[in-house]
Chain A
Amino acid sequence: MAGVSFRASQSANKRKTFLLLASMGALVWLVVYAALTYFGKSTTAIVPIAVGIALISVWGSYYTSDSIVLRMTGARAIQQSDNPNLFNLIQEVTIASGLPMPKVAIVQDSAPNAFATGRNPEHAVIAFTTGILDVMDRDQLQGVVAHEMSHIGNRDTLVAAVAATTAGAIAMLSDILTRMMWFGGGRRDNRDNNSNPLALVVSLIVLILAPIAALLLKSAISRRREALADATAVAFTRNPAGLRSALEVLAADTTVVRQRSTAVAHIWIESPLDAKSVSRLFATHPPIEERIAALRAMESLGPAT
């Protein structure tokens, strides 16, 4: 049964996402706890403010992600008549996945890459660079389309938005609180504080390290969603070889999408940032060799029925 492997991979990656999101929640709690220990009850009001600001800033971009990302990447929406073969491929995957037909867009760029975004499957957009359409054959492109449609089906824009909100709130909290320390506010005024020096030092370390930890968790979540999308793509096409050889093409390719704004790095199928410029722990994608190996493992089980 070839079906076992991608299903196992899907549920493992879903479970890990859940654990990572839970750790993110635990981190928020830890930061709040550290703040209360260090500054006393006067800081309680800051928490909802930080979460509120983070929510508002991320929610807007999440809700209008389809149009914002198109603008940031310079993608142009196309119609069926512009590229009927590409539309055929996408229609095939919509039938395999039961998802509605997304909007399709093209980015003028010779570097092969693709992405999908949108707040829900009804407002999804899937974009390809002209480079990827030129270098890939039908099976490879089908694998790429399936990977992107998996992001839509798995609601990865929502997952990314939740991760970004939490990481943003933690960063803001830590920022406000370290400023408060600088200006010596808060602490001296509150006599009811915990005065255990060890507790104070630990809370200080938590407050300083929390934003980095949040960023690490955010990147780890992004990597899990990429691995999940690979597995879901195989569930759709039952053809790991297509996506695997597409990833091999991407791995062999050294060109990089021109507008490499880190803000939208996580949405591409292959990270548009140089491997060296981001360390492994902060990478938004698993190493491409690892993804190829995972797909190879699914292939060795033979073609699925």
Chain B
Amino acid sequence: MKTLVIVLVVVVVLALLIVSIYNRLVRLNVNVNEAFAQIEVQLKRRSDLIPNLVETVKGYAAHEKDTFEKVVAARAKATAASGVAEVAAADGMVTQALRGLLAVAEGYPDLKASTNFLALQEELSTTENKVSFARQYYNDNVRALNAAVKTIPTSFFAGMAKVTTREFYEVEDPQSRQAPTVKF
């Protein structure tokens, strides 16, 4: 009788433990999905800002065709991208192209002073921040998931929960690697 009770208690405790581990893994996986969706939402927001921004800059600096084309091309590519690596690569290109566009804007005091551009600039900097925080939040969640999938005891149940390690969101940013070159 006594052994039966002990066995029952052990079985129940084990079952609860397994359920909680299983749920934790599933939850971590869902968090990663949600975090990635957030990146896409913010990227979409940024995409939507681009036509307006390009038009505004064009009004003052119509001959900077190269820069505009780069931005538009990067945007088109980003719209078509899917999957973490592809989205991240396209994201990096847009970020770079936008930087180029803002650098061009620096050279036109009239443009910089225009109310339209000032309003756009705040929109753009908050969107840029939101994109980068969304990336950071995604990577934090991937880190938590990957740690759980690779460490004992959660690793034993990763297969059962159909959860695997996920890819980090890495944006190619040449600016962080090479010193900025200044051209006059």
A positions within 8 Å CB-CB of B: 85, 88-89, 91-93, 95-98, 138, 142, 236-238
Contacts and interface: CB of A to CB of B under 8 A. Distances in A.
B130 A92 contact: yes
B126 A89 contact: yes
Interface in B108-126: 122, 125-126
Given A92-B129, A95-B38, A95-B42, A85 B134 contact: no
Contacts of B134: 95
B136 interface: yes
B133 interface: yes
B130 A95 contact: yes
A232 B128 CA distance: 21
B126 A91 contact: yes
A237 B133 CA distance: 8
B69 to A, nearest CB: 29
Interface of B: 31, 35, 38, 42, 122, 125-126, 129-130, 133-134, 136-137
B133 A96 contact: yes
Contacts, number: 30
Contacts of A238: 136
A85 to B, nearest CB: 6
Given A85-B122, A95-B130, 8 more contacts: A88-B122, A95-B38, A95-B42, A96-B133, A98-B31, A98-B137, A142-B129, A238-B136
A92 B122 contact: no
Nearest to B127: A88
B1 to A, nearest CB: 38
Nearest to B134: A95
Contacts of B137: 95-98
Contacts of B126: 85, 88-89, 91-92
Contacts of A91: 126, 130
Nearest first, the 8 closest Cβ-Cβ pairs linking A and B are: A96-B133, A88-B126, A95-B133, A92-B129, A95-B134, A95-B130, A92-B130, A92-B133
A206 B136 CA distance: 50
A95 B46 CA distance: 15
A78 B134 CA distance: 25
Contacts of B133: 92-93, 95-96, 236-237
A94 to B, nearest CB: 9
A96 B38 CA distance: 10
A98 B42 CA distance: 14
Nearest to A238: B136
Contacts of A142: 129
B82 to A, nearest CB: 21
Contacts of A95: 38, 42, 130, 133-134, 137
B20 to A, nearest CB: 21
Contacts of B125: 138
Nearest to B136: A96
